[in-house]
Chain A
Amino acid sequence: MMSAIDPVADVTGIGVWGVPLAVASGAVRIGTPFLFVSLGECLTEKSGRVNLGLEGTLVMGAMSAYAISYYSGSAWLGVLVAGLVGSVLGALHGWLCSLPRVNDVAIGIALISLGTGLAFFLGKPFIQPSATKLPAIDLGFWSSSPEVRSALQINALFVVGLLLAPAIAFLLARTRWGLVLRTVGESSDAARSMGYRVNTVRAIATTCGGFLAGVAGSFLSLFYPGSWNERLSSGQGLMAVALVIFAQWNPVRCLWAALLFGASSALGPALQSVGVSSGYQLFNAVPYVLTLGIMIATSSASRRLPGQPAELTVAR
Chain B
Amino acid sequence: MKSERRRHAVIMSKVVLGALALFMGLGCSKNQESAAPSAAGSASGSPAADDTLTVGFIYVGPKDDYGYNQAHHEGALVVSKLPGVKIREEENVPETDDAQKTMQSMVSLDGAKLLFPTSFGYFDPHILVEAKKFPDVTFLHCGGLYDATKHPVNAGSYFGYIDEAQYVSGIVAGMTTKTNKLGFIAAKPIPQVLRNINAFTLGARSVNPKVTTAVIFTGDWSEPKKEADATNSLADQGVDVVTMHVDSPKIIVEQAEKRGIFVTGYHASQAPLAPKGYLTGAEWNWGQVYTQYVAAMKTGHLFDHMPHLERGGFKEGFIKMSPYGVAVSGDAKKKADAAKAALTDGSLVIFKGPLSDNAGKQIIAPGAAMVQTDVNLEKMAYLVEGVKGSIP
Q: List residues of A whose CB falls within 8 A of some B CB.
A: 1-2, 4-5, 10, 12-15, 18, 21-22, 25-26, 30, 52, 55, 105-106, 108-109, 112-113, 116-117, 120-121, 124, 127-128, 130, 146-147, 150-151, 224-227, 229-232, 234-235, 238, 265-266, 268-270, 272-281, 284, 313-314, 316
Residues of A within 8 A of B227 (CB): 225
| Further 11 A-B residue pairs, CB within 8 A, beyond A52-B19, A268-B226 | A4-B388, A13-B239, A21-B236, A120-B31, A127-B62, A130-B273, A150-B236, A229-B250, A269-B230, A273-B234, A281-B219
Contact status of A238 and B19, CB under 8 A, knowing A269-B226, A270-B233: yes
Q: Which 5 residue pairs are nearest across A and B when measured between Cβ atoms?
A: A13-B238, A12-B238, A225-B228, A273-B233, A277-B389
* Residues A112 and B61 in contact, CB atoms below 8 Å apart: no
B183 at the interface (CB under 8 A from A): yes
B263 at the interface (CB under 8 A from A): no
Q: List residues of B whose CB falls within 8 A of some A CB.
A: 8, 12, 15, 18-20, 22-23, 26-27, 29, 31, 33, 61-62, 64-66, 92, 179-181, 183, 210, 212, 214-219, 222-230, 232-239, 248, 250-251, 254-255, 258-260, 272-273, 356, 358-360, 385-392
* Residues B181 and A117 in contact, CB atoms below 8 Å apart: no
Quote the shortest CB–CB distance from B185 to chain A (angstroms): 9
* Residues B224 and A225 in contact, CB atoms below 8 Å apart: yes
Residues of B within 8 A of A266 (CB): 229, 233
- Nearest residue, chain A, Cβ from B181: A12
Quote the shortest CB–CB distance from A19 to chain B (angstroms): 8
Residues of B within 8 A of A52 (CB): 19
CB < 8 Å neighbour of A146 from B22, B65, B260, B358 = B260
CA distance A232 to B241 in the complex (A): 24
CA distance A280 to B219 in the complex (A): 8
User: 17 interchain pairs (CB within 8 A)?
Assistant: A2-B212, A2-B385, A4-B358, A15-B237, A22-B232, A105-B19, A108-B19, A109-B19, A116-B26, A124-B64, A146-B260, A225-B254, A229-B62, A230-B62, A270-B229, A273-B214, A313-B8
Residues of B within 8 A of A269 (CB): 216, 218, 226, 229-230, 232-233
* Residues A130 and B386 in contact, CB atoms below 8 Å apart: no
- Nearest residue, chain B, Cβ from A12: B238
CA distance A26 to B226 in the complex (A): 11
CB < 8 Å neighbour of B12 from A4, A105, A128, A273 = A105
Residues of B within 8 A of A313 (CB): 8, 12
CA distance A37 to B388 in the complex (A): 38
Contact status of A278 and B390, CB under 8 A, knowing A120-B31, A127-B64, A229-B250: yes
* Residues B20 and A238 in contact, CB atoms below 8 Å apart: yes
Contact status of A273 and B237, CB under 8 A, knowing A4-B387, A12-B181, A109-B15: yes
* Residues A231 and B236 in contact, CB atoms below 8 Å apart: no
CA distance A5 to B254 in the complex (A): 29
Query: How many A-B residue pairs lie within 8 Å, measured between CB atoms?
Result: 196
Residues of B within 8 A of A21 (CB): 236
Q: Which of A230, A232, A235, A314 has the most CB of B within 10 A?
A: A230
Contact status of A22 and B236, CB under 8 A, knowing A105-B15, A235-B23, A281-B392: yes
Quote the shortest CB–CB distance from A64 to chain B (angstroms): 18
CB < 8 Å neighbour of A275 from B12, B29, B214 = B214
- Nearest residue, chain B, Cβ from A145: B236
CA distance A91 to B391 in the complex (A): 49
* Residues A265 and B273 in contact, CB atoms below 8 Å apart: no
Residues of B within 8 A of A272 (CB): 214-217, 230, 233, 389
CA distance A265 to B232 in the complex (A): 13
Contact status of A18 and B15, CB under 8 A, knowing A113-B22, A231-B222: no
CB < 8 Å neighbour of B22 from A2, A10, A112, A128 = A112
Q: Which of B15, B29, B232 has the most CB of A within 10 A?
A: B232
* Residues A30 and B225 in contact, CB atoms below 8 Å apart: yes
Contact status of A4 and B233, CB under 8 A, knowing A121-B31, A227-B224, A229-B224: no
CA distance A4 to B18 in the complex (A): 46
Residues of A within 8 A of B232 (CB): 22, 25, 150, 269
* Residues A4 and B8 in contact, CB atoms below 8 Å apart: no
* Residues A117 and B217 in contact, CB atoms below 8 Å apart: no
CA distance A220 to B217 in the complex (A): 22
Quote the shortest CB–CB distance from B179 to chain A (angstroms): 4
CA distance A229 to B63 in the complex (A): 12
Residues of B within 8 A of A14 (CB): 236-238
Residues of B within 8 A of A225 (CB): 224-225, 227-228, 251, 254-255
CB < 8 Å neighbour of A13 from B61, B181, B222, B229 = B181
- Nearest residue, chain B, Cβ from A235: B23
Residues of B within 8 A of A224 (CB): 228
Quote the shortest CB–CB distance from B356 to chain A (angstroms): 8
Residues of B within 8 A of A316 (CB): 8
- Nearest residue, chain A, Cβ from B19: A109
* Residues B65 and A112 in contact, CB atoms below 8 Å apart: no
Residues of A within 8 A of B360 (CB): 1
* Residues B19 and A13 in contact, CB atoms below 8 Å apart: no
* Residues A278 and B233 in contact, CB atoms below 8 Å apart: no
Residues of B within 8 A of A2 (CB): 210, 212, 385-386
Quote the shortest CB–CB distance from B364 to chain A (angstroms): 16
- Nearest residue, chain A, Cβ from B8: A316
Residues of B within 8 A of A238 (CB): 19-20, 23
Quote the shortest CB–CB distance from B347 to chain A (angstroms): 28
- Nearest residue, chain A, Cβ from B385: A1
* Residues B210 and A226 in contact, CB atoms below 8 Å apart: no
Residues of B within 8 A of A10 (CB): 181, 237-238
Residues of A within 8 A of B224 (CB): 225, 227, 229, 231-232, 234
Quote the shortest CB–CB distance from B230 to chain A (angstroms): 4
Q: Which of B22, B237, B250 has the most CB of A within 10 A?
A: B237
* Residues B225 and A234 in contact, CB atoms below 8 Å apart: yes
CB < 8 Å neighbour of B392 from A22, A55, A274, A278 = A278
- Nearest residue, chain B, Cβ from A148: B236
* Residues B237 and A113 in contact, CB atoms below 8 Å apart: no
Residues of A within 8 A of B8 (CB): 313-314, 316
Q: Which of B218, B226, B272 has the most CB of A within 10 A?
A: B226
Quote the shortest CB–CB distance from A56 to chain B (angstroms): 9
- Nearest residue, chain B, Cβ from A231: B222
